[in-house]
Each structure stands twice: as C-alpha cells, then as structure tokens.
A and B are shown apart, each in its own frame.
Chain A
Amino acid sequence: MKYVVGVDIGGTFTDLICIDENADYIIVKTSSTPKDPSIAVIDGLEKVAAKLGKSSLEEFLTDVVRICHGTTVSTNTVLTWTGAKVGLLCTEGFRDTLGIRFGIREHPYDFTVPAPQALAPRYLRMPIEERIKGDGEILTALNEQQVRDACKYLKEQGVEAVAICFLWSFKNPVHEKRAAEIAREELPGIYVCASCEIQPEVREYWRMSTTVISAYVGPNLSNYIRNLVATLTSKGFDGQLLITQSNAGVISPEVAMEQAVRTVLSGPACAPAAAAYLAGPLGMKDVITVDMGGTSLDICLIKDAVPWMRLDSAVGGLYHMRLPLIDIHTIGAGGGSIAWLDKIGALHVGPASAGADPGPVCYCRGGTEPTSTDADLILGYLNPDYYLGGEIKLDMKRAHDAIDAKIAKPLGMEVWEAARDIRKIIDANMVDGISVVSVQRGEDPRRYAMVAAGGAGPVHSASLARPLGIKKIIVNRGSSIFCALGGAIADLRHDFVRSVIVRSSTVEPGMLAAHFEEMEQLGNKYLDMEGIVPADRYFTRSVDMRYKGQFHEVEVPVITNNGSLSKEDLELLIARFNDRHEELYAYRDEVETEMINLRLAAYGKVVTPPRRELPFVGKDSHQFIKGQRDVYFEESGGFVATNIYDGDTMGVGNIASGPCIIEQFTTTIIVPPNAFVEVNSYGDFEIILS
C-alpha cells in the first residue's frame, strides 16, 4: 500500500493526514515544537506509522510517495521579527523606497503609533550607481565595483541575506542579474535574491518589499527545509517532499528555498482547496469557507471550484507583498473573543481574544474575561462534559459569574440575555466579514454553500448562513485538519508575471502570445525539475486590465488552448473585462482599456485518490440520541428542550431534524429550528436550512 501524507504545522498543533490508495485516511494531531518544527513532524509520522501497525518509521516511510508540508515558519519569522539580517542593493537616489512604504500610515488619527521598522534597515540599504529608463534603455551603466564594495561592507556588517531591486528591472533585468551574480560571487553562502527572479512586475515598492521579505525569511526557511530533508532521508524516505505556498499550490523544496516569499501566509491557504475537494463530489462549485478558531475567523470564497485570489497583501498588516495568493479574509472573531463594555455601556465583542491560553473563563485556566465560548456554554450550545471529546471540562458556573459581573449586571439584564447578545454581536461581525468577500464583490451568497471548519465554526455556521440566505452547510468529520488535507491533494503550481503596460487598441496579439510562451517555457523548466510529465501539466493565463488612466486593475482570464491569441480573442478579453468591471464596481465605460500585467500559472497534477462513498446505514437516527438539554434559539425566542446526538457514531443516511445538536470528538454542530441535518454518502454532515 502506498501513502500520501499531508502535514500542517500550526502554532499549537501539528496536524497530519495520511491517505492511502483507497482514499482511506487517518489523522494524527501532535503538539508543535516551535524551536525546531521538524521534531513534531517526525513525531507525528511515527504516530501515523504506529497507527498503521508498521514496525518502524523507516518501514512506513518507504511506502510514502509524497509528503506535502505546510508551514508557518516563514510567516512566523516575519511576525516575530526573527528573520535574517538583510542588506539591500537599490538604485542610487532611491535608498528609502522600502522605508517610505508609499507614504501610508495605518492609523491616520493616532500619531502615537510608531513607524514600522523596515526589514532591511537604512544603514544596510546600499545605493548603487545604475539606471534603466522606463522603456528599458540603459541610461547609466551598472557600477560593478560599487556592487563589490557594497557586498564587502554588507559582509562586514554580518548580513545573512541580500535583496536586490533596481528601478525598471522588470523591463530590463540586466543590471539586477549582473549584480546578483557579483553578490553571489562575493558573498558565498549568503542568501541572495533579485526582484526580477521573484516578481518582475511594475511598481518598485511592491516588488522591492516582496523581494526583501523573501530575503528576510529565506535563510530560516532554507535551514529548516534542509534539516527536514536530511532527517527524512536518513529515515529512509525517498518519495517527493513538497512545500505548500500561499497560492494553495505546492512546490519542490529547491524552489521554495529560492522563492521563499511564496510560503509566507501559506498557513491557511490550503483550507479552501480542501473545502473544494469535499464539496466537489457533491456537485457544489460555489462555496464559502468559514474557519473559526480561538482568535479569528478565516473566510474564503470559492467560485466555480476556484478559490478567490488576491495580489496585494501585508504580512502582520505592515509588510507588503504582491504575488498571487489565496484571498483569506480574516477578522478578529473566534471562540476566545472577549465581550466588553465601553464607557457608555455599549457592548462589543472582540477583536481582543483570550485565545487558547488562558482561554475562555469556563476553561478554568485563569481567564477572567467573558468570551464567545462562555456565552455559547450559557446558551446550551456546548456540553460542559463533552468538549474536545471531554478533554476540557467546561465550568458553567464560572462562565455564568463572569458574564453576570462584567456584562449582565452593568446592563441590568439576565445572564442568558447577555449571553444571547454576545452571540448576536459576534455573529453579526462575522456576517459583515462574509459580506465583504461576497456581496461587496458582486457575489450573491444565496448561490453559495458554506463549509464550516475549526473548533467553533459549526457552532456558529447556521447563525451566519441564515441572514446571508445560504441554504446548505457542510461539516467534514476531519474539519480540524483541513490545511493538512488541502496540502496533500494540492497540485504543483508556479506563478509568473510579465508587465507590458499597453493600450488594448494598439496591442499586437503576437506580442502577448510571445510573453505567455516564454512564461510557459519557464513553467515547463520548473515542472521538468520536479519530475512532472507533460501529460500532467496544465496552464492558466490572465491579463490585468483597466480603463485608460485607472490605477487598479481587474484580472481577466484568457481562454486559449495553447497560448496563441487572435484579434477575436482580444476583443473577447475586452468584453469580459467590461463585464467583470461592472460586476465588481457597478459601472462600465466606453473608453479605451489598458493591459498591464500578463500572468501565467503552470500546474503539475498530482494523483489524488477520489473520495470514497461509504455504505448507507439508514435514515433513522433515534438510537444516536444521547440526551437532551435546554438550548437557546433565536428562532424560538427562548430556550427549548433539544436532542443531543452522538455524532461520532452516526452513519450515512442518518437524518435528524432541528433544533438539535450533534456532538463530535472535535466539534459541535448546531442545527437550528426549521432545518435538518443529514450524513451524506461521504460521511460528512450536511445542514439544510429552510
């Protein structure tokens, strides 16, 4: 039997999923080891081997064909300020592009917030005599001696990585490439990356910042990957190791080390792919995923089986990068979100969170501020004796007292009313968050199904779906290891971009086709390296377009079989841009359009076992009722006696009508009145709202 393993390293837990050729899977959760995350990976693999009855890790690993590895190493490196000491070579006269950050201040009214520190400090930003003009022509030749001197200085300063970004290098990369060559000569063993190798796209601040982030996280990530590869090899693994990226595709370790920035923000990126994998066989291509954990809610919109992408993002809200990534909209609403009163007695929930430690008051780990989870407990949604399979006992009295003292008494209400209001507010914040990724983009949520994940997701999903008009919610049994699953099934993916900046009326289709062709060749080069045979490759192409004079572009997919483009194809492209613009921004115009960037994604298919249907057990689910308790439902206007089902034992075909609660080892599913839940043929729960 051969296996595919997905690994996801989170802040608290490292999740593993091992899928065999029959699509049977086992799941392992192990505590993360932040100092050397690979310890937890090996520990988890050992646990998997034991579960499979293998005599040793080595025996198991020889049967593993692929390990897909998701990691927060790069993201955490930025967030915790533990990256490399980075030097930057930049065009003379423009030393502070990185520090100016195009002038933006995140809090325009509060001047007490200090300016963010650049990831390459000013004394390590080295101006180099050189200049390329906007048309790509060389105005001032590269001063090679200056590059060498700068490298020597940076070496003396003890830099661990060097980023290079010159003006207009996406038009003519010759200076950057030569400077990188010199730097690699002068600085052996030091991580060097140039913007033309990372993201050759117009707008130097974004390109530079993206490149600097890559340099900042590159050394840490490379060390980590090298260690992991060495350890796995020493344990007999000779399959393929793949690293997940923020675009939800995977890449080889070599490419990940070279293009380290592509792994930043990759943490939650694979969850939507997992959701698409689950929903696909059910015939659902339009899905909104909501993953509610302890501190935040991650929302992603999947349209026509493709997760929504974005280009611009800011790591930790401050460090900008521009490359295609899964657009996860995160808001500060989780089980640990704290309810508080401001000085006029208006009630708010979040964004401050008690997280997992100390956690909600009812965890009895020292939390004193009432949280969303405490409110859910008071309202009867959670079982004090069966939370995380009984691993944590929830203390109802403490939750009650905290809500009473901090919220109910000051507002002159009953504790349950305060709990109800806390829930109402956090649900409304989440509904607003979902509307940002759907309604505000011209997408009607009523057409979408919801996939709920995370410990608290299914506790709240029905309350979020109803106001948005969503009729169906899917909860996977393994919803807490979504990212590991998403990685395991992800295709390889390489993104490329070329900035052209032309008017659509004057553009030669041949010129565009040539760029696409060149990018396709590059993609083929990478996929060759990764051992993907041509039959398993596919490519998508798009153009960033705008009306003449606009600043922001809209990405429009190019439909072509082989990269060739005719005049008619171009006309179609312009028509599709107009439609898309109107869809997004409520108007279209007659004026000329411009094409700014051409994008190509090169994919390598991996073999994913199809989901397996399970045998039908029966509709009747009475035997799985394990008790009853009073639960508050808005629809009923108060508490009602509600059946509690043992979700871990329910089988395919089981139906239960709401109001009811399904308790599972990892999560609790709330089914409100006027709704029912059914176990579908893959063993997942589907809640149908009417």
Chain B
Amino acid sequence: MSETRKFMLKTEPADFAVLLSGIFTIAREMGVNMERTARAPIYYSAHDFTNAILNLDCEIVALAEYIPVLNGATPFAAKAVRDFFKSDVNEGDVFLVNDPYTLDAGNQMADWTIVYPIFVEGEHMFWVANKAHQQDTGGGVPGGYNPNAIDVYAEGLRIPPLRIFSKGKEIKDVFSLVMKNVRIPDTQRGDLLSMIGAAKVGERRVNGLVKQFGKDKFKDFIEDLLNYGEFMMREEIAKIPDGTYHSEITGNPGSSPVVCDITVKGSEMIVDFSQSGPMVQEYVNSPIANTHSSTFQAVMNSIGKKIQYRCGGCYRPIEIKTKPGTITHAVHPFTHGNCTNFIAKQIIEAVWAALGEAIPQAVPGGWGSINYWVFSGIDERRNEGFGSPDFLACASGAGAIWGTDGWPTNGPQICSGTLYYPEIEVAEGIYPMRWEKWEWSTDSGGPGKWRGGCGVDNVWVVESEKEPVYVAYAADPYDYNIAPAIAGGKMPPLNRKELELATGAKETSADTRSKKFYVLRKGDKAIDFTQGGCGVGDPLDRDITAVQEDVRDGLVSAKSAEKDYGVIINPATFEVDIEKTGALRQKMRA
C-alpha cells in the first residue's frame, strides 16, 4: 500500500541543498571539537557523547552522531531548560542538566548535558545540546554505576536545569558546588569546558550561516528540513503492512519484561510500552527520555537505515506510549544508573522484534550483551586516581541482518560501532592492570544463514603492588534474553564473568552477579567472556564455503559446524565432506 504524498519545499532547491550541507557540517565540527579536547576516557574513547542543534520547539535540526542512544535524549534536556527558565534566557548563558526526574530532563544521571542558547542578532533562534557521559557523577560509588544504590540519591548528584554561566560569565559558586560533588574535578571541569567550547563553535557557525541567507530564509529552511525528515520516515513506515505487532523481552527472576506493541497505520506508527512490567530493584529502570531515545535508535537502524539526515522530523510520525511506574517509564526516586546499557538494549531489541513480525528481512538480529566491570582506585605509578568502565569487555558481537553476517566485536549495541575500544597499550598505560587476552572467542556468534558477529575473551590481571583495584559489577543484572531469533537464526552462548584470585579462590559468574563488589589485589585475575550476536536465517542454509572459512579461521569449531550448520569438516585439512554434509543437512531439516 502506498499513499501518494506531495511535498513542496519553501526554500529554493539550491539553497536547500546548500543549507543542508552547511548545518550538518556545523554539527560535525562541534563533534570533532569535543572529541579532540575531551579528557575522560568514556568521552574521548567510548565516544559516549552527542551534539545537537535544536529549534525552539526542541526538535533536532542537525546532529553530530557519536553514540546513537543519546541522540533522542537531547530534546528532553533542551525542553527542561526551556520550560524551567522560560523567558529568562540570555545570550552567553550556559545551562547544565542531568536529572531524569526533574521535567524529564535526563536519560541517565551520568550523561550531563550542556544546553546553550544560540542568539542571532539578539534573537534566540536555536538551542545547542551537548550531552556527554561523565567520568563521575557523585553518589555512592565512583564512575556513576552504583549497582547497590537504593534510590536515585545514592546514584549521584541530581542537577536540575542549572545556570552555570550568565551572559558569558561563570557563576563561580554554582559551578564550584557542582565540581565539589564529583571525584575527579579537574578532569571533569576540562570536559565541561570542552562541551561549552563546542557549543560556542556551533553558535559562531550558525550565526555565519543565518547571516549569509537571512533569518526568514533560514527559518523556512528549518521548517523544510524537519518536514523533509518527516516525509522520509513516513515513506519508510508506509512500507510496513498495517497491523499490530507484539514482542516481549524477559530476563531472570526479579526482572520485569519489556513489552512492545507496535501499531502501524499508513505512514504512522504507535510504539506502545505501557504493558511493560513494573519497576525493579536493580538500577536499570528507564526514565522516559531513555525510552524515547532508545526507540528512535531502534527505528533509525532498522526501517530508517537509509535515511541520511536523521533530524527531529523523522520522529514526528512515531508516537511513543509509556506508563509511569513501569520499567520503561521510571519515576522518582527509583534507581536507573545503568538504563542506557540495559533496558535501552532491551527496548531497542523489543522494537526490532515487534517489527520483525512484519518485516523480518529489514530488522537486525539481537546483539550480544556487554559484560563489564567498572574499575577504580589509585594508580600507584603516578599516585593518581582512575576510574572507568572496562570498554574491552563491551566488545560484544553484532547481530546479523538478512544478507549480512554480524560484525565481530562491535558492541555495545547502543553504540552500534561508535565506541573506540582503547588499545591494550592505552589501557595498560592508564590503568594499573595487564591484559592477558583480548581476542575473538570461537563459537561466540549465534549460528544462522548469516552468522552473528563474534564476541570476545577479555582477561586482565591487577599489577599494582600495594593499591587495590575496586571493581563494581556492571553487566546485565538480570541476564535479559536477546531478542527472539529472526527467521530461524540461533542464539549465541551466554556471558561468563569470573575471577581467579591470587589466593587461588575462584568466583563464578553467579558469585560475581550476586556479590557485585570486589577489592582486587596484585595477581587477581578477571576473566570475562562477552557474547557474540544473534544469527539470522536457518544455519542449515548457510553457504558451505562460508562455514568452511569460519572453521579455517577458528571462528566456528568443526564441532559446531556439524552440530549447528550440518557441515562435516575435517578439522586438520578443513576439507568438507560434501556427501555427508548433504545427508546430514537433509536429516537435520527433517
């Protein structure tokens, strides 16, 4: 079914193309600026940030896209500042916000947003929202992931919309209050300055562009751009057969299901999470900004994957419904610290799974779940503090998609390949640990006609002589299931997270999940296996040569080739017994 839609640009065609290139060039420049000046590893290496230019309705006009799951949360931060300060916004003001429970401003408390008004010739025309994950956000533990928090206060400093610069001048007492509540203030101050610097670059460039074309033309262009995004998304939604599609992602006892019902009608779509289960004890409850942002990511990398300009207009034909008090709409004072990793992933995969009922060939298979510690302590080589998630344990495999194998070591899914893993020489330089292993794990990708990408074996040992390394469990507390397999694809093996202590004692995955905190000393070893992605399509239909190459490369064992793919391969010569393979596949299909 295809509706005929007509679309008229107000802007001259040439001006539209010129401005489109111009505004996205500006957003990217802001991004590059932030990336290159940042201090905290999570921000420069993990690319755990995003920059957006928004109109006064807080619709995204242009983005520098670093981490996809943060993009859709920028309008919430801008809206909160707008609604809190109303007309009391001046040129040169800088606002800071992180709290998910004040005006729904934040997606997660460690993701701080600098909101900055852009004035052009005295008129407030746009907002910049630069959001970046901070190295620390106060609260009960360093690094912002507090698995034992009982409420939001234990998770960190709540920052409602807060003015930190007034008309270009730093409000020192206020800024200082904030900095007194984080653990590594000099680094973090540098990061905030970097975010503000990037916003100012955006301000300067937008001013140049508006002056070049005139305000009226520019406003017309913004309207056109948003309509353009809306039109492109409607085209994609219209390709989905009308109907209601359902999915449910569940986890271990104590978890709460993420339930997604998608109703497609013509070129519009309602994504309804209100049937999801109640909020949970663990810190994965999703504030509404996180739920929205995750949903948009899911839509953009499934049906919207070919849309080039991912502006706020793309969001217009999609209505998201949630019910306060559910795991997909957390309310004060429930904990939420790790919602951008867990529950964000489940929300995204619930959307894929529901869409998968209608259009299985257009949605990806689920990704491996990340499996990391947050470590912190004193690095005695320099006598300085350190603290960071172990990004090397986040290298889960990507799910396959119809026609393409999943990429290996590409996670977390919420980053979709925008996270730079620190190289071993970088990691060993900034953390007092030595890595023993970081490589693809055999049979870690889910079998399928298109195989899931491999996950990783990640093993490190504490090197410091005296100082301990504190580790906090930050893997999925409920071991949520990966989205149901698509078109006969299979699941990857489960994550493992173990410790081998220098004393000889061993901690199993079950131990680490329940104890959550350890103080590690020299020689203590962390052993993580981070899973690969889900396969797509029946593995018995996988091309035999592809299976043979996987076995030769050690990505799939000869045993799995036989058991999962029905392919008989000599593990020494890698020769395939075609006859036996044919027979086995026939038998397995029967």
Per the bound structure, the CA–CA distance linking A206 and B36 in Å amounts to: 17
Q: Which of B44, B200, B232, B420 contacts A586 (CB 8 A)?
A: B200
Contact digits for A103-135, partner B, Cβ 8 Å, 1 yes 0 no = 111101111111100000111000000000110
A115–B453 CB distance below 8 A: yes
Q: Which of B9, B405, B424 contacts A346 (CB 8 A)?
A: B9
Per the bound structure, the CA–CA distance linking A325 and B202 in Å amounts to: 29
The verdict on A345 contacting chain B, using a C-beta distance below 8 Å, is: yes
The verdict on B311 contacting chain A, using a C-beta distance below 8 Å, is: no
Contact digits for A526-568, partner B, Cβ 8 Å, 1 yes 0 no = 0000000000000000000001111110000000000000000
A591–B186 CB distance below 8 A: yes
Contact digits for B187-205, partner A, Cβ 8 Å, 1 yes 0 no = 1001001100100110000
A103–B428 CB distance below 8 A: no
Per the bound structure, the CA–CA distance linking A436 and B201 in Å amounts to: 13
Least distance between A392 CB and chain B CB atoms (Å): 28
Contacts of B435 in A (CB 8 A): 93-94
Given A344-B7, A347-B13, check contact A109 B301 (CB 8 Å): yes
A432–B21 CB distance below 8 A: yes
A551–B305 CB distance below 8 A: no
Binds B, one of A185-193, A227-235, A417-425: A417-425
B39–A100 CB distance below 8 A: no
B424–A167 CB distance below 8 A: yes
Contacts of A94 in B (CB 8 A): 424, 435, 437-439
Given A122-B555, A167-B425, A589-B190, check contact A425 B408 (CB 8 Å): no
Q: In this complex, what residue of B is CB-closest to A552?
A: B36
Least distance between B533 CB and chain A CB atoms (Å): 10
The verdict on B306 contacting chain A, using a C-beta distance below 8 Å, is: yes
Per the bound structure, the CA–CA distance linking A552 and B43 in Å amounts to: 12
A204–B17 CB distance below 8 A: no
Contacts of A315 in B (CB 8 A): none
Least distance between A432 CB and chain B CB atoms (Å): 5
A103–B421 CB distance below 8 A: yes
A123–B553 CB distance below 8 A: yes
B197–A585 CB distance below 8 A: yes
Contact digits for B330-364, partner A, Cβ 8 Å, 1 yes 0 no = 00000000000000000000000000000000001
The verdict on B572 contacting chain A, using a C-beta distance below 8 Å, is: no
A428–B17 CB distance below 8 A: yes
Contacts of B305 in A (CB 8 A): 109-112
The verdict on B582 contacting chain A, using a C-beta distance below 8 Å, is: no
Per the bound structure, the CA–CA distance linking A112 and B14 in Å amounts to: 31
Least distance between A487 CB and chain B CB atoms (Å): 32
Q: In this complex, what residue of B is CB-closest to A590?
A: B186
Q: In this complex, what residue of B is CB-closest to A420?
A: B14
Contacts of B301 in A (CB 8 A): 108-111
The verdict on B477 contacting chain A, using a C-beta distance below 8 Å, is: no
Least distance between A59 CB and chain B CB atoms (Å): 55
Q: Which of B21, B190, B418 contacts A108 (CB 8 A)?
A: B418
B423–A551 CB distance below 8 A: no
Per the bound structure, the CA–CA distance linking A411 and B16 in Å amounts to: 13
Contacts of B537 in A (CB 8 A): none
Q: In this complex, what residue of B is CB-closest to A134?
A: B428
Q: Size class of A's contact patch?
A: 35 or more
Per the bound structure, the CA–CA distance linking A94 and B424 in Å amounts to: 9
Interface-centre pick from A106, A168, A551 (highest chain B CB count, 10 A): A551
The verdict on B467 contacting chain A, using a C-beta distance below 8 Å, is: no
Contact digits for B293-329, partner A, Cβ 8 Å, 1 yes 0 no = 0000000110011100010000000000000000000
Per the bound structure, the CA–CA distance linking A100 and B530 in Å amounts to: 14
Q: In this complex, what residue of B is CB-closest to A407?
A: B13
Contacts of B7 in A (CB 8 A): 344-345
B22–A552 CB distance below 8 A: no
B420–A103 CB distance below 8 A: yes
Interface-centre pick from B36, B306, B428 (highest chain A CB count, 10 A): B36
A346–B417 CB distance below 8 A: no
The verdict on B174 contacting chain A, using a C-beta distance below 8 Å, is: no
Given A108-B416, A112-B401, check contact A551 B41 (CB 8 Å): yes
Per the bound structure, the CA–CA distance linking A95 and B194 in Å amounts to: 36
Q: Which of B12, B17, B310 contacts A109 (CB 8 A)?
A: B310
The verdict on A146 contacting chain B, using a C-beta distance below 8 Å, is: no
B197–A121 CB distance below 8 A: no
The verdict on A348 contacting chain B, using a C-beta distance below 8 Å, is: yes
Given A346-B13, A552-B44, check contact A425 B39 (CB 8 Å): no
Contacts of B145 in A (CB 8 A): none
Given A105-B410, A425-B18, A440-B29, check contact A346 B228 (CB 8 Å): yes
Q: In this complex, what residue of A is CB-closest to B454?
A: A96
A95–B409 CB distance below 8 A: no
Per the bound structure, the CA–CA distance linking A548 and B379 in Å amounts to: 14
B436–A115 CB distance below 8 A: no
Contacts of B235 in A (CB 8 A): 343
A113–B404 CB distance below 8 A: yes
The verdict on B552 contacting chain A, using a C-beta distance below 8 Å, is: yes
Contacts of B39 in A (CB 8 A): 547-550
Contact digits for B419-458, partner A, Cβ 8 Å, 1 yes 0 no = 1110111101100001111111000000000000100100
Given A93-B437, A103-B420, A123-B554, check contact A586 B13 (CB 8 Å): no
Per the bound structure, the CA–CA distance linking A581 and B20 in Å amounts to: 29
Residues from 451 to 477 in A contacting B, C-beta threshold 8 Å? 467
Q: In this complex, what residue of B is CB-closest to A127?
A: B439
Contacts of B554 in A (CB 8 A): 122-123
Per the bound structure, the CA–CA distance linking A282 and B30 in Å amounts to: 36
The verdict on B262 contacting chain A, using a C-beta distance below 8 Å, is: no
Contacts of B171 in A (CB 8 A): none
A585–B33 CB distance below 8 A: yes
Per the bound structure, the CA–CA distance linking A134 and B423 in Å amounts to: 12
Q: In this complex, what residue of A is CB-closest to B402?
A: A112
Residues from 586 to 606 in A contacting B, C-beta threshold 8 Å? 586-587, 589, 591
Q: In this complex, what residue of A is CB-closest to B457?
A: A93
Residues from 11 to 68 in B contacting A, C-beta threshold 8 Å? 12-14, 16-18, 20-22, 25, 29, 32-33, 35-41, 44-45, 65, 68
B421–A100 CB distance below 8 A: yes
Contacts of B373 in A (CB 8 A): none
The verdict on B403 contacting chain A, using a C-beta distance below 8 Å, is: yes
Contacts of A216 in B (CB 8 A): none
Q: Which of B13, B45, B300, B416 contacts A105 (CB 8 A)?
A: B416
Q: Which of A103, A440, A589 contacts B409 (CB 8 A)?
A: A103
Q: Which of B201, B304, B424, B553 contacts A204 (CB 8 A)?
A: B424
The verdict on A485 contacting chain B, using a C-beta distance below 8 Å, is: no
Q: Which of A99, A424, A581, A585 contacts B408 (CB 8 A)?
A: A99
Contact digits for A335-373, partner B, Cβ 8 Å, 1 yes 0 no = 000000001111111000000000000000000000000
Per the bound structure, the CA–CA distance linking A156 and B5 in Å amounts to: 63
Interface-centre pick from A203, A205, A585 (highest chain B CB count, 10 A): A585
The verdict on B95 contacting chain A, using a C-beta distance below 8 Å, is: no
Contacts of A584 in B (CB 8 A): 36
The verdict on B558 contacting chain A, using a C-beta distance below 8 Å, is: no
A93–B459 CB distance below 8 A: yes
Q: Which of B9, B37, B186, B426 contacts A344 (CB 8 A)?
A: B9
Least distance between A319 CB and chain B CB atoms (Å): 16
Least distance between B494 CB and chain A CB atoms (Å): 21
Least distance between A187 CB and chain B CB atoms (Å): 21
A586–B33 CB distance below 8 A: yes
Q: Which of B14, B33, B231, B409 contacts A424 (CB 8 A)?
A: B14
- Across the A-B interface, give the 6 residue pairs with the lowest CB-CB distance, nearest first: A105-B417, A421-B14, A428-B18, A93-B437, A551-B44, A122-B553
29 intermolecular pairs with C-beta atoms under 8 Å apart: A93-B436, A93-B438, A99-B409, A100-B456, A103-B410, A104-B420, A106-B417, A109-B310, A110-B306, A111-B401, A112-B401, A112-B403, A114-B405, A115-B405, A204-B424, A346-B16, A421-B14, A428-B18, A428-B21, A432-B25, A547-B39, A549-B39, A550-B39, A551-B41, A551-B44, A585-B36, A585-B194, A586-B33, A587-B194
- Residues of chain A at the chain B interface (Cβ within 8 Å): 93-97, 99-100, 102-106, 108-115, 121-123, 133-134, 139, 167-168, 202-206, 343-349, 411, 420-422, 424-425, 428-429, 432, 435-436, 440, 467, 501, 547-552, 581, 584-587, 589, 591
